[in-house]
Amino acid sequence: MAGGIKMPGEEKKQQKQEFWRWTESNWKNPDLDWNDAKIVTAGIDVGSVSSQAVIVTDGRIFAYSNMRTGSDSPESARNALNYALKGTGLPEDRIDYCIGTGYGRVNVPMADRSITEIACHARGAHFLYGPEVRTVLDVGGQDCKAIHCDGKGKVTDFLMNDKCAAGTGRGMEVFADLLSVPIIEVGDRSFDIEKEPEPVSSTCVVYAKTEATGLLRSGWKVNEVLAAYCSAMAERIYSLIERIGVEERFAITGGMAKNKGVIDRLMKIMNIEPMKTEWDTQIAGAAGAALFANTLVAKGKGRK
């Protein structure tokens, strides 16, 4: 584990593989030059597991970064912003307005204001997926949100479950580690099975881990256990969406959108086709925050 206690001689043996680890990334829009921009805004989403920074110039995404959240929220926000700005030549003091969002939003030192992740995710999904989106499902690191929005990306109904982390990103990371399957392979491997198994009876990460260990001992293959867990997570997520209902069209944001083991099974239960995007689904919250900042500055409300 990162920063974990090193046992003597561990380095000599084998490097412990971190199966949960996903790739951090940053991106710069090659078509935009910040020198031409009238308004430059930033959105920083400090989540429980990942942090993103998105830079928006005149309402278009100029650059973004996606990193793991550390133990320190202000530092995670700082790292995400630095990583997004890296190589763009954009000086930080050129940013007109910065909005913090996510679980650690009150702890973003460079933010001029904070806005809830509910509002930001709706706004971000509206941008990433287009104005036809009416239902946004965000499966984050430790929570799950279902949001309805109108044609302008304004929230009309929402539900968030952040008390219980069952069926969320971190649960999947724990599982990947337990089964020694790299997190990016979980989706494909969960379909590499002969017959779809029954879902595990509990999505509670603690009990599911116990159950999975039991299944492995009784001779189940790793891929089958993965399938059973993905399937249980899909059912769990569905039970949350069911409470507010689904209005077409449907979009998924957050890290879990990249795990087809869960999402394909969820779509099968819901019997609908999700919207597609070229953007990184994890940046929705930060993109929404940066776009809100852009609107505030354009309206003249965002001057420091």
Partner 1 sequence: MKANYGYKDGSGDYFITIDTDKCNGCRECVSACPYGVMGVGPDENDPFSDDEVAFVTEQERKKIKYTCGPCKPMKNRPPLPCVAACGPGAISHSW
> Binding residues for partner 1, per CB under 8 A?
115-116, 118-119, 148, 154-164, 202, 204, 239-240, 243-244, 292, 295-296
> What are 227's two structure tokens?
């399938």
Cβ 115 to partner 1 shortest distance, Å? 5
Q: How many CB atoms lie within 10 A of CB 184?
A: 14
Cβ 122 to partner 1 shortest distance, Å? 8
The helix (H) or strand (E) run that includes residue 64 is strand 60-68
Reduced to 3 states (helix: H, G, I; strand: E, B; else coil), residue 252 is strand
Cβ 167 to partner 1 shortest distance, Å? 10
Cβ 268 to partner 1 shortest distance, Å? 22
* Pairing outcome for strands 97-101 and 40-46: parallel
Cβ 103 to partner 1 shortest distance, Å? 12
| Ramachandran category for residue 233: left, alpha or beta (phi over 0 → left; psi -120 to 50 → alpha) | alpha
- Name the residue nearer to partner 1 (CB basis): 168 or 223: 168
Q: Contact at 8 Å (CB) between 166 and 236?
A: yes
The helix (H) or strand (E) run that includes residue 212 is helix 205-217
Q: How many CB atoms lie within 10 A of CB 147?
A: 25
- Name the residue nearer to partner 1 (CB basis): 244 or 269: 244
Q: How many CB atoms lie within 10 A of CB 287?
A: 29
- Name the residue nearer to partner 1 (CB basis): 145 or 189: 145
- Name the residue nearer to partner 1 (CB basis): 77 or 293: 293
- Name the residue nearer to partner 1 (CB basis): 179 or 290: 290
Q: Contact at 8 Å (CB) between 300 and 84?
A: no
Q: What span, in angstroms and rounded, lies between the C-alpha atoms of 173 and 123?
A: 27
- Name the residue nearer to partner 1 (CB basis): 40 or 118: 118
Cβ 159 to partner 1 shortest distance, Å? 4
